[in-house]
Structure 1
Amino acid sequence: MSQIINLLGDKTEYYLNHVCRTIDKSLIHIPSPDTVDRTWIPSDRNVRTLCSLQTLLGHGRLAGTGYVSILPVDQDIEHTAGASFAPNPVYFDPENIVKLAIEGGCNAVASTFGNLGAVARKYAHKIPFIVKLNHNELLTYPNTYDQVLFGSVDEAWNMGAVAVGATIYFGSEQSRRQLVEISEAFERAHELGMATILWCYLRNGSFKKDGADYHASADLTGQADHLGVTIKADIVKQKLPTNNGGFTALHFGKTNEKMYTELASDHPIDLCRYQVANGYMGRVGLINSGGESHGVSDLKDAVITAVVNKRAGGMGLISGRKAFQRPMKEGIALLHAIQDVYLDPGITIA
């Protein structure tokens, strides 16, 4: 706890002692050692999928807590390999990506067909694999923004993956096609007994207005999460909210005043709680993304994100660039610092 308090500094009270007076914690399905038994047994997930979920929850430093710490490395496709790995070129070799996840005590490693396939025989039985099914590649010129499938669910299953991941760009022109593609992919994944994780991201240039960016507003991201759980994602990945009122500022969608007056406040934990609520009150776990690397502030930023996620009722963190865009020893230390938040019994749901 002392390191966490040191990193939070004068914001310790703000983050650690906040009481959520919007959506009460008694309504939230809080992650716990018996999450699969308590939350997923009543569902229609088959036995093999339940085993896969338990495998994810049973690996790494957070094993048996109900929380997850995942290393995602698909930025070599999403942002170009050069931009992603130039700070630390050893990660051009996929084996080092997997080694970082293992040494970092992660529950799983999430990456591309190519990265994981290159080392599957050596590592698929040593750490759970999450294969990312689709990507937005930036070599098309002029740039277009679309998520396209890079392989099949069966290919991921044959690789030994316990889960598949996918992105839908909600709000984009292609979002409805992506919804159909990924809902079908998730159906097949569940048939084969794999868990499903959805990156519920927003992408639309019109979501920026009057100098404000609503791509991470609580109301829009919350609805994206709700669409994600509707196509039966077992875990949803979302950016931490940075503001609210996207629907009202952009004058679209349908709203209720209580969304902003009773179900959320301007506190980051309350904004994140709204995201959790949209995942069936936490039945479907919310993992927040670690975001891009900013250098010296990365450790503090990662710990704050973990504290907000845990106290909101989330399931964990999926942090990549902050870990792999630095020397491996420092990346391991950052992943451990994130995990320490979830291992600390003194940090409780708000």
Structure 2
Amino acid sequence: MPEPVGSLWRYRIRSRRAAPTVCRRAAAGSSTDRGVPTTVDYESLLGAEASALLKYKAKGIDKKTLHLPGPDFIDRIFAPTDRSPQVLRNLAALYGNGRLGGSGYVSILPVDQGIEHSAAASFAPNPIYFDPENIVKLAIEGGCNAVASTFGVLGSMSRKYAHKIPFIVKLNHNELMTLPNKFDQIMFGSVEQAYDMGAAGVGATIYFGSDEATRQIQEVSVAFARAHELGMFTVLWCYLRNPGFKKDGIDYHVAADLTGQANHLGVTIQADIIKQKLPENNGGYNAFEGFGKTSKAVYAKLTTDHPIDLARWQVVNCYMGRAGLINSGGESKGAGDLAAAVKTAIINKRAGGTGLISGRKAFQRPMAEGIELLNAIQDVYLDPAVTIA
């Protein structure tokens, strides 16, 4: 497991350009490092889990049926759609930027947690990120394809940075200031505002399963249609939210079958990229009497309890990968974050996913360490040894 050492976060990698073990520094996210893979010592980071993840042969859905990421993804998948040339151009900017540029994979830094989880809870561990410029700098120095944040954060930096890294403006948030707390996504601005500040794309959250889901679906559908009219791509934070989804000690908010259906609803309203939590279990439909519909084949033939098969079911529900699945990095838990991020990246890539969108694990630590974590995630997608299962 990685341990903090001074101002840097050390983990064992062997560069294909240099034999000695190295510790990446901030310059690793520079344009000169674009597309240069390194070999991560997966066994050192993950222990016995490394072999179980890297050598696993997927069961259920054959990878040959998926539309997998690759350098030609926009021409192969998006060009035949109803997306305008302006949307294709902005998608090309996204897929062409950062260390993963041209690979078909994406690494996105999301920092909307100042609203979703409160600014104090999000930025007190590293107060420099109260300053929006440091958020954008972390994304650039970390070699990300794009930075996703709020109207305020990106608007305050748009003239300085919108031409240097693709902006994804988050349209709605849960304001978390109502007592007692409630969970509802409300619009904080307009699609036109995002367009005017030079955004390449917009993002939004829907809490599927919540009492407000129907309204949110309608609002986000209209917003995404307008974004496409203006030439921006769309990213959906495709989350489940209902206290009833927890039963007998199991949290079905991260069930593969339920998150998969949420993904399917998300691509129905033309999300170009789906952000979803990594699945941790399955059988959400079967746990609740009279809830929704499913098929026995999902559990008997099409999935197993292996995390790669569960994540693949999420990809399948993104029109077999026509809309890219990016899994979220989750909260920061300290010294184990690097191993957790690399593990999530391996699962996503081997399942057929498109990348990772990792925020708190990156910005709730010194910037140099955050850059190392982002680079480690990107290394998984650049590593030809990590294959599609």
- TM-score scaled by length of structure 1: 0.99
Does the 8 Å contact 2:40/2:376 carry over to 1? no
Shift, 1:289, TM fit? 0.1
Shift, 1:24, TM fit? 0.3
Larger Rg: 2
Q: Aligned residue for 1:287?
A: 326
Q: Aligned residue for 2:351?
A: 312
Q: Aligned residue for 2:138?
A: 100
Q: Choose which of 41, 55, 73 in structure 2 pairs with 1:35.
A: 73
* Residues 1:336 and 2:375 aligned together: yes
Q: Choose which of 220, 227, 233 in structure 2 pairs with 1:195.
A: 233
Q: Aligned residue for 1:79?
A: 117
- C-alpha distance in 1, partners of 2:108/2:50? 25
**Is the partner of 2:234 in helix, strand or coil?**
strand
Shift, 1:346, TM fit? 0.9
Q: Aligned residue for 2:186?
A: 148
Shift, 1:174, TM fit? 0.3
Q: Aligned residue for 1:6?
A: 44
- C-alpha distance in 2, partners of 1:28/1:166? 26
- C-alpha distance in 2, partners of 1:343/1:135? 33
- C-alpha distance in 2, partners of 1:194/1:227? 20
Shift, 1:50, TM fit? 0.6
Shift, 1:255, TM fit? 1.2
Q: Aligned residue for 1:137?
A: 175
Q: Choose which of 121, 125, 149 in structure 2 pairs with 1:111.
A: 149
Q: Choose which of 226, 232, 235 in structure 1 pairs with 2:273.
A: 235
**Is the partner of 1:79 in helix, strand or coil?**
helix
Q: Choose which of 129, 145, 151 in structure 2 pairs with 1:91.
A: 129
Residue 253 of structure 2 aligns to which amino acid in structure 1? H
Residue 241 of structure 1 aligns to which amino acid in structure 2? P
**Is the partner of 2:254 in helix, strand or coil?**
coil
* Residues 1:349 and 2:383 aligned together: no
Residue 70 of structure 1 aligns to which amino acid in structure 2? I
Alignment CA distance shift 1:118-1:45 (3 Å): same
- C-alpha distance in 2, partners of 1:91/1:20? 40
Aligned residues: 350
* Residues 1:174 and 2:232 aligned together: no
- C-alpha distance in 2, partners of 1:3/1:36? 32
Does the 8 Å contact 2:307/2:347 carry over to 1? yes
Shift, 1:8, TM fit? 2.0
* Residues 1:264 and 2:303 aligned together: yes
Shift, 1:5, TM fit? 3.2
Q: Aligned residue for 1:67?
A: 105
Shift, 1:15, TM fit? 0.3
Shift, 1:21, TM fit? 1.6
* Residues 1:325 and 2:364 aligned together: yes
Report the aligned-residue RMSD.
0.6
Shift, 1:299, TM fit? 0.1
Does the 8 Å contact 1:4/1:341 carry over to 2? no
Shift, 1:328, TM fit? 0.2
* Residues 1:21 and 2:59 aligned together: yes
- C-alpha distance in 2, partners of 1:80/1:91? 13
- C-alpha distance in 2, partners of 1:89/1:206? 36
Alignment CA distance shift 1:2-1:138 (3 Å): closer
Percent of paired sites with the same residue: 68
**More divergent stretch after superposition (153-162 vs 250-259):** 250-259
Shift, 1:3, TM fit? 2.3
Residue 154 of structure 1 aligns to which amino acid in structure 2? E
Structure 2 unmatched ranges of 5 or more: 1-38
* Residues 1:48 and 2:86 aligned together: yes
Shift, 1:2, TM fit? 3.9
Shift, 1:212, TM fit? 1.0
Deviations 1:306-341 (A, max 9, x none): 000000000000000000000000000000000000
Shift, 1:261, TM fit? 1.0
**Is the partner of 2:67 in helix, strand or coil?**
coil
**More divergent stretch after superposition (3-12 vs 139-148):** 3-12
Does the 8 Å contact 2:169/2:194 carry over to 1? yes
Shift, 1:264, TM fit? 0.5
Deviations 1:221-272 (A, max 9, x none): 0000000000000000000000000010122111110011111100000000
- C-alpha distance in 2, partners of 1:275/1:310? 12
Q: Aligned residue for 2:19?
A: none
- C-alpha distance in 2, partners of 1:150/1:190? 19
Shift, 1:14, TM fit? 0.4
Q: Aligned residue for 1:212?
A: 250
Q: Aligned residue for 2:33?
A: none
Deviations 1:22-64 (A, max 9, x none): 1000001110000000011111111000111111000000000
- C-alpha distance in 2, partners of 1:11/1:212? 23
**Is the partner of 1:21 in helix, strand or coil?**
coil
Shift, 1:137, TM fit? 1.0
Q: Aligned residue for 1:275?
A: 314
**Is the partner of 1:281 in helix, strand or coil?**
helix
Shift, 1:10, TM fit? 1.2
Shift, 1:12, TM fit? 1.7
